[in-house]
Chain A
Amino acid sequence: MSQETLSQPVVSLSTRQPQKKSSLFAGDTRLGWLLVTPALLVVLGMVGYPFLEAIRISFTDRMVGRGPGQFVGLANYEYIIGWPDFTEMVVRTVLITIVAVGLKTVIGLILATSLNQDFRGRDVLRGIFMLPWILPTYIIVLVWRWIFDGQTGLLNQVLMSWGLIENNIPFLAKPASAVAALIFVMVWKGYPFYALTFLAGMQTISAELYDAAKVDGAGRLARFRFITLPGLQQIMGVVILLSTIWTMNSLEIPMLLTGGGPSNATEVFPLLTYHLAMQNFRLGEGAALPIMMLPIVALLVLGVASYMDKEATE
């Protein structure tokens, strides 16, 4: 059962055939709009309107508890660009995202390949590997923060008890190790999703292809490169792009793990947005920052959409 259900969505994503037009579909206009209206209202009212509000607010000097604010043109954008750490913050966000997504992809691929063999207890293992993905992010981050803690942290206790260190290491209080810890938690939480979707994709690849390749003398690496990877291309593309969007916009993990510190080493753009708006109460600047990052997100979203369209036409 489980394997069939696993492969189902992978297939369903790619079976978007254009439906036959028949007289059965005539006269659907009124009912169609009627059924879609509640969802449309939610989207227009709770996504579309806030989205436009975000753009409008970004052109004002609005602050928390001080009325609607004045129109200030591009002042907020100029302020952010002119901010001494701006370039550094963008580079930091992009680098952390690339490293985290890269590691998730590689580890996900390795785990999926390892799990894509027949052995007893595989389904149980797969279930356990789902835990990081299924558990609340905030709990995972709080637990890792305690593990990495410099005073009473578990990692220090473990290293100490094994005699590997003599003094506590403040992992989250040093820039380099804080960034490493942030990426580590992102990867720990994220790679199971990659592994499980890749595994689902691998299981839709016909075993006959591998058998035929073996007969033709293709080695392990050749089979991986010329059968597994092309077979996974579609699903990998979608997963990596989606995950890049989510990783780049991840607020919870840096917020709860490091709060941006030490000395801004982990201050990524969603966190800076939060700090500007909710701690400094500068809503205009807080709204302007994610809008400035929107082109990057938009490119990624278009990438996802084009993958989906490719599926639809294939």
Chain B
Amino acid sequence: MTAAIDRIPNSVFRVISFAVITILFVMVLFPLYFMVTTSFKFESEIYSELTWIPRDPTLTNYRDAIVNFHIPLYLRNTLTVALTTTVIVVLISVLAAYSLTRLRFPGRAAMARGVLFVYLIPGSLMLIPMYLIIVKIGLKDSFSGLVVANMSFSVPFCTWLMMGYLRSISTEIEEASLIDGCTRMMSLRYIVIPLSVPAIITASIFIFNNVWNEYIFALVLAQDDAHKMISVGLANFYRSDYYMVGPMMAGSLIAMTPVVILYILAQRYVVTGLAAGAVKG
């Protein structure tokens, strides 16, 4: 067996590699290709038979999704929650990460260790108590409730990511600034935060993405139209026995566009955060 694999010439090995990549590549693009083409098909075409290219391209599904299914409203709701969460979480987490990596004080080590544990508490455990607490404090069907729920998993994650980054960058400049008379806060403001911009961008993208893509808490916490998240709005297309495939594909493409654009713009930052276990997969 060993010898057999070793005897394969390099050229053959490369061909095998390309075959593997091609198969997986097709598997990745298959659903995406049909999402796009289906979104331009009339309903009759979708349900009748397989067509690789829309016979009679139409924008009906997009009009349906936008006009009849309130997609713009849900997008605005989601954007509000995602941006608010991201700003608050980044602010809180950067301060905490700085404190936990740079300052020496009793209790620091325990808290620094605890961050990972808190981050890994499964959502299925938090769902019921979080739901009850949000209802109790009167934040069901409100943006604040969704922000609170999203903060609960974003703050530990973002703090963890920022701590990893701060540990990896040299402290020499900071120490020099302190010797030259900077206070801790000045050093944080003028040296640490500017140096951390890549990590802050990475963290912001992941938090924004996570909120944008979150479904379970959104489903449980915001049922009314005025506060409904895009994920819940789209999943509702599938509620009944009658699947509105066309509008759903159109709506899904609209919903994932911001995520994809964000990701293309910031690809190198996204790649940076990869190995930090950044997005649940």
- Name A's B-contacting residues (CB within 8 A): 1-2, 5-6, 8-13, 15-16, 19, 21-22, 24-26, 28-29, 31-36, 38-40, 42-43, 46-47, 49-51, 53-54, 57, 107, 110-111, 113-115, 117, 125, 127-140, 142-147, 149, 152, 154, 157-158, 160-161, 188-190, 192-194, 196-197, 200-201, 219-222, 235, 238-239, 242-243, 245-246, 248-249, 251-252, 255-256, 269-270, 273-274, 277-278, 283, 286-287, 290-291, 294, 297, 301, 304-305, 308
Contacts and interface: CB of A to CB of B under 8 A. Distances in A.
- Provide the main secondary structure of the chain B interface: helix
Interface stretch (B42-50, B54-62, B69-77): B42-50
A36 B238 contact: no
A11 B104 contact: no
Contacts of B231: 136, 138
B193 interface: no
Contact of A114 (B20, B103, B279): B20
Interface in B208-235: 209, 212-213, 215-216, 220, 231, 234-235
B108 A32 contact: yes
Nearest to B99: A35
Contact of A39 (B17, B21, B132, B159): B159
Nearest to A143: B31
B219 to A, nearest CB: 9
Range of interface residues on B (Cβ < 8 Å): 35 or more
A42 B35 contact: no
Contact of A147 (B17, B31, B167): B31
A273 B268 CA distance: 38
Nearest to B89: A42
B96 A38 contact: yes
A117 to B, nearest CB: 6
6 contacts: A22-B175, A31-B99, A36-B96, A46-B130, A133-B279, A142-B234
Interface string B178-222: 110000110000000000000000000000010011011000100
Contacts, number: 307
Considering the complex of A and B, which 3 residue pairs feature the smallest CB-CB distances, nearest first?
A12-B168, A219-B6, A193-B281
B235 A142 contact: yes
Interface of B: 2-3, 5-6, 8, 13-14, 17-18, 20-21, 24-25, 27-29, 31-32, 34-35, 46-47, 49-50, 91-93, 95-96, 98-100, 102-108, 111, 113-114, 116-118, 120-133, 148-149, 151-152, 155-156, 159, 164-165, 167-168, 171, 175, 178-179, 184-185, 209, 212-213, 215-216, 220, 231, 234-235, 237-238, 243, 245, 248-249, 252, 255-256, 259-260, 263-264, 267-277, 279-281
B117 A301 contact: yes
Contacts of A157: 49-50
Contacts of B49: 157, 160-161
Given A28-B104, A28-B105, A38-B92, 6 more contacts: A31-B99, A38-B91, A40-B111, A46-B155, A134-B260, A249-B122
A79 to B, nearest CB: 16
A139 B234 contact: yes
A131 B28 contact: yes
B268 A5 contact: yes
Nearest to A14: B168
B103 A25 contact: yes
A145 B252 CA distance: 14
B124 A149 contact: no
Nearest to A28: B103
Given A46-B151, A147-B31, A219-B5, A54 B108 contact: no
